[in-house]
Structure 1
Amino acid sequence: MGISHSSLELIKYIQEKQNINIKNISSFFNKTESSIRREIDIINLYSGNKEIILIKNGLVTTSLNYIEYTDFIQSLSMDEYFSNRDERILIILISALLNDYVNLTDLYNHLGLSITTKKNDTRYLKSILNQNNLTLTILKKKGIKITGNETVFRLFVIQKLQAIIDIDLNNNFKNRKANTPFETYAFNIFNEKISTQSLIIKDKLLTYINNKDVNLSYHSRKFLILYLSVVIFRQNEGYILTKSTKIPLNISECQLFDNVHENKEFSNIDAILDTNPSQDFLFDEKLWDISVLFVDTLLLNMNKTIVSKVDFVQEIYRFMYKKICSQWLNIYFDDKLVNNVELNLPDIHKLISNNQKIFTDVYNVNLNNIQISTLALITKKWLDINDSVQRKSLKIILLTNIVYERVQYFEELLKSYYDVTLVGVFTLYDIEKIKNIEYDFILLFSNRMLFSLNNTFKNVIKVNFFLNNDDIKLLNSYGFKPSKKRILTSEFIKNIDNKSKEQLVDYIKSNYNDYFL
């Protein structure tokens, strides 16, 4: 008897609902009511001095909050927890990445697992490695070793690591509070080995960031630090790339390592990172032409015209550039914070879903729902820009981990209600920059960020990404009012006097981006 991963999922589900009928729980988890009751009994047995989940007249209730939920998980020992297959495979993969070989018998004995479990897990591990063109090699009297394409192996493990690792404001790895005992074990063996390279890793990270005039999204920052950590460790262990992934786009080369193939592969990685603002990519004529065709097809289907179509195409081009690179590397860190785009923008979402074939036919790239949703937000944003009018602006800072393309949609949504100018988009890593910016309000979507900023900055407001009626009432109460804005003619003439055509375009884009298309 013990706590399993399904038990933790049950606790989290009840914690989020607070009050829910046991019939609904039974239906959601596809289990009988009696099995749900038994599982709750076991949970309460391991919860210490009090029952954390109560059942009365078929109603399941809890006063547990998220912090108490993660505290409960952290209180479990490995002996009290039943691991699942994915957690055990993760430990093997990390161990294989960090060592020349892994003795599975010793590992499973240490973890208190049976020989049968080891055999079944090994069989499954072989199958998933084969699917990724990797091989499980047996070393006589030593153990197992994973061989094959070094880049594929690195990225395969990094993809798994992303789910159990957080990073703090100093770019150090942190164990996720919701990690199970086996995930915590996996984190610890990784962090212990990687920490020996921390100075080199941070030096490379600083070199990269200093050469980029952009801010990284949270997920991209975490992925980048993981990638640098794994690459530097593997290089020091003698596993250096002898070839790099060939992506069917023109890729701008980064110079971060001494090895040409490591630099080419890092250049591929650089191309998939979400940044704010979106980074400039090399021009690829084929992708540009396809992006134009995609936009023209959308506008034709919607019976719309857009004055700033080139800018619209440019954004589609940049987004698809990243997604094509991501698919060729088989790496994804899509933003899942914004849900139900297909419900809020059903017509646009359906159109994009139907028209993605334009990219699929040429690049064999299949967009998932999150990526289609982002393209829908980009499209709606440019439609809103096209319909916008001159307005007087409040200066707004947005603090969020949401990726840049989606932030731009929210900016135009906000502008459809109010006269605002977005003067900066930052994460918690950029707090020092905010102190030097003149603003009227800081908007954010997270209670955690609200708590972090409330005592430090004035006029911090939490809203929902898709502004609802309560958000509108809240913003109205803070004085967000629509009003026309006029540009002082004499001041405008003075500022553009004696400027060349190119200088004039740059000046207008920098100072009057909301008024000129």
Structure 2
Amino acid sequence: MNHFDLSFLKYLQDNSPLSIDEAVQRFGKTLSTLKRTMKELNELLPEPVQLHQDNQFITTRIGYSEYRQFLACVRFNRYITTAEERVRDLLVTLCLHDVVNKNEYYKKFYVSAGTVKNDNPVMLRLVQAHGLAVQSIPRIGSRLVGDEFSLRLAVCMSILKTVEIGENHQLIAHQANEPISRSIAEQFLHECATDITQAARYYEDVIRPVNTLGYNGRKYLLVYLSLALHRIRRGHVIKASTATQMLTTFPFEVMTDPQENRCLDLLIASLTFTHRPFTLYDARLVVHVKRTCERLSRCLKNPIYNQRAWFAEMYNFIYAAIIQNKFHLWFDDKKLHNVENRYPALWADVQHAISEIEKSWQTAFSPIHLATLVLITKKYELKNRVVSEPKKRVIIVTNSSESKVGYFKEVLLSRFHIDIPVCININEIEQLQHLEFDLLITFTNKISSHLKYAGLDYVKVNFWLTQDDFLLLRERGLPSTRKKIPAEQFVQQVQGMSPEALRDFLERHYGDVFI
């Protein structure tokens, strides 16, 4: 069994029944290869959920629970690892231990002795991409060396998808880990157990009172902080700050060492937040972002009246993007890959508007960053809130970034008379037990299966909402937006108010209209 077999089963679990033609085209495999994969998988699957060919379709009754149970049974003696998987696992091990005997370590993968040597070029490419190196210690083993901050960031990316956040901000293993991910999670959670608890306390006591991180940003921070505490405990500290004084940061002072704090503060500033007060005021960048917004304003069809809110979101994201580019922190999102095709003119306008910032900070915004800036701008262009009667309460269940979901929310709000009190990460659906809502919405098959498994009623739509999606949502009871204000009632309500009281009244009761 190999990585393809598991990928095939995962896709089928979300998309059964799957036509044979689609399977052949999607995976680039022949039907005979797919049949061999099905045979290999069925040897470990219980009979009720085994894979079958039914005419021109491949079918299975496997649910998410059975899929997790299946993965737990797949061990390295039944699994053929790739070189990329092995070196990713080894990278984490080299970080968690001062010296590693690779020949002994590779025995757990059930591979030949020559595989260790054959994997060396793959490992070399991986570590060189982060400015690191693997140093050989004769007759003892190998050691991972290089810039300490870069080393931690590189290993964080290997750990990130193998863990989730449990109760009290404690990191736990992801429930559906494949063999390599399970190995990485197990050694990280074991070696850093006390550090994970300390990292959770630092977040709760020091960071959260200032800024509330979104789920994905919080998870990255907890992984980094746990790894940092573990490395510091073993004597590996940041001796000279890799982070140049490129931006002003908020001083959280989590650590006692100023160099450690400088790097940690920059890292925190690069992550996603659900609540972020304007704590990252960098005078030089403020001027540049203002000019960027001014250039974009001239390209938009509709004026943006809430300029301050737009500027604040653009500034915070550009600030974070500069740091992410500096330290190669790539947070990919497949839903953002089609933004350029959907809004080509605005994409070009954004590219031109931020060119000055790219030049000044000697960076280049990635397509993912450009896509997010386009969606942020489009979100504010779409803002046209209207006066409301009681609104339907809609909760979006997603694992996407706040910036991307913000666009999705504004498209919904521009078409329906609704309130979106909160967005829930799929790993925190237990919160729904304590919330009142009229409709759950998601836009991925994976999350749909989670909600179905949890017994929750939901509507699955496309991220790029289509006319069929709007029709479906109307059928589920979402009313269209209302654009009228009863004049007589309004006049009676505001009569005799001072300008200050009137402004407060309008913001509280008619915030959907007045900006």
The answer to whether the superposition gives a TM-score over 0.5 is yes
Question: Which residue number corresponds to residue 477 of structure 2?
Answer: 478
Deviation string 1:377-419 (CA, Å, 9 cap, x unpaired) is 212221122x444444526463544333233323322221233
SS of residue in 2 equivalent to 1:267: helix
C-alpha distance in 2 between matches for 1:125 and 1:298: 44
1:67 to 34, 58, 65: 65
Note the C-alpha offset of 1:322. Answer: 1.0
Question: Which residue number corresponds to residue 99 of structure 1?
Answer: 97
Q: Note closer, same or farther for the CA distance 1:208–1:233 as it changes in structure 2 (3 Å cut).
A: same
Q: Note closer, same or farther for the CA distance 1:196–1:333 as it changes in structure 2 (3 Å cut).
A: same
C-alpha distance in 2 between matches for 1:114 and 1:254: 49
Note the C-alpha offset of 1:136. Answer: 1.0
Note the C-alpha offset of 1:490. Answer: 5.5
Work out the percentage of aligned pairs sharing the same amino acid.
23
Question: Which residue number corresponds to residue 145 of structure 1?
Answer: 143
Q: Specify the code of the residue in structure 2 equivalent to 1:117.
A: T
1:231 to 207, 228, 233: 228
Note the C-alpha offset of 1:261. Answer: 0.9
CA contact (8 A) 1:220 1:333 kept: no
C-alpha distance in 2 between matches for 1:239 and 1:454: 47
1:296 to 290, 294, 297: 294
Note the C-alpha offset of 1:29. Answer: 2.8
Q: Which residues of 2 match residues 132-171 of structure 1 at below 5 A?
A: 132-171=130-169
C-alpha distance in 2 between matches for 1:504 and 1:14: 57
TM-score by length of 2: 0.85
CA contact (8 A) 1:78 1:181 kept: yes
Moved more, 387-396 or 78-87: 387-396
CA contact (8 A) 2:92 2:158 kept: no
Q: Note closer, same or farther for the CA distance 1:120–1:236 as it changes in structure 2 (3 Å cut).
A: same
Which runs of 5 or more residues in structure 1 are unaligned? none
Note the C-alpha offset of 1:451. Answer: 5.9
C-alpha distance in 2 between matches for 1:71 and 1:432: 25
Aligned length: 504
C-alpha distance in 1 between matches for 2:396 and 2:302: 33
CA contact (8 A) 2:83 2:119 kept: yes
Question: Which residue number corresponds to residue 180 of structure 1?
Answer: 178
C-alpha distance in 1 between matches for 2:428 and 2:178: 27
TM-score by length of 1: 0.85
Q: Note closer, same or farther for the CA distance 1:397–1:90 as it changes in structure 2 (3 Å cut).
A: same
Q: Note closer, same or farther for the CA distance 1:452–1:266 as it changes in structure 2 (3 Å cut).
A: farther
Q: Specify the code of the residue in structure 2 equivalent to 1:228.
A: L
C-alpha distance in 2 between matches for 1:74 and 1:514: 50
Which runs of 5 or more residues in structure 2 are unaligned? none
CA contact (8 A) 1:390 1:514 kept: yes
C-alpha distance in 1 between matches for 2:67 and 2:76: 17
Q: Note closer, same or farther for the CA distance 1:433–1:450 as it changes in structure 2 (3 Å cut).
A: closer
C-alpha distance in 1 between matches for 2:173 and 2:198: 21
Deviation string 1:429-459 (CA, Å, 9 cap, x unpaired) is 5977995x8x66464424467569878xxx9
Question: Which residue number corresponds to residue 361 of structure 1?
Answer: 359
C-alpha distance in 1 between matches for 2:469 and 2:24: 33
SS of residue in 1 equivalent to 2:374: helix
SS of residue in 2 equivalent to 1:82: coil
SS of residue in 2 equivalent to 1:174: strand
C-alpha distance in 1 between matches for 2:61 and 2:34: 18
SS of residue in 2 equivalent to 1:7: helix
C-alpha distance in 2 between matches for 1:377 and 1:302: 13
Note the C-alpha offset of 1:146. Answer: 0.6
Question: Which residue number corresponds to residue 371 of structure 1?
Answer: 369
Q: Which residues of 2 match residues 49-60 of structure 1 at below 5 A?
A: 49=47, 52-55=50-53, 59-60=57-58
C-alpha distance in 2 between matches for 1:432 and 1:44: 36
Q: Which residues of 2 match residues 58-457 of structure 1 at below 5 A?
A: 59-214=57-212, 216-244=213-241, 245-246=243-244, 248-336=246-334, 340-342=338-340, 344-353=342-351, 355-385=353-383, 387-392=384-389, 394=391, 396=393, 398-400=395-397, 401-425=399-423, 427=425, 435=434, 441=438, 443-445=440-442, 446-447=447-448, 450=451
C-alpha distance in 2 between matches for 1:43 and 1:434: 36
Q: Specify the code of the residue in structure 2 equivalent to 1:76.
A: V
Deviation string 1:231-280 (CA, Å, 9 cap, x unpaired) is 11111111122122115222222111111111111111110121113442
SS of residue in 2 equivalent to 1:239: coil
C-alpha distance in 2 between matches for 1:260 and 1:511: 47
Q: Note closer, same or farther for the CA distance 1:31–1:467 as it changes in structure 2 (3 Å cut).
A: closer
CA contact (8 A) 1:217 1:402 kept: no
Q: Note closer, same or farther for the CA distance 1:91–1:98 as it changes in structure 2 (3 Å cut).
A: same
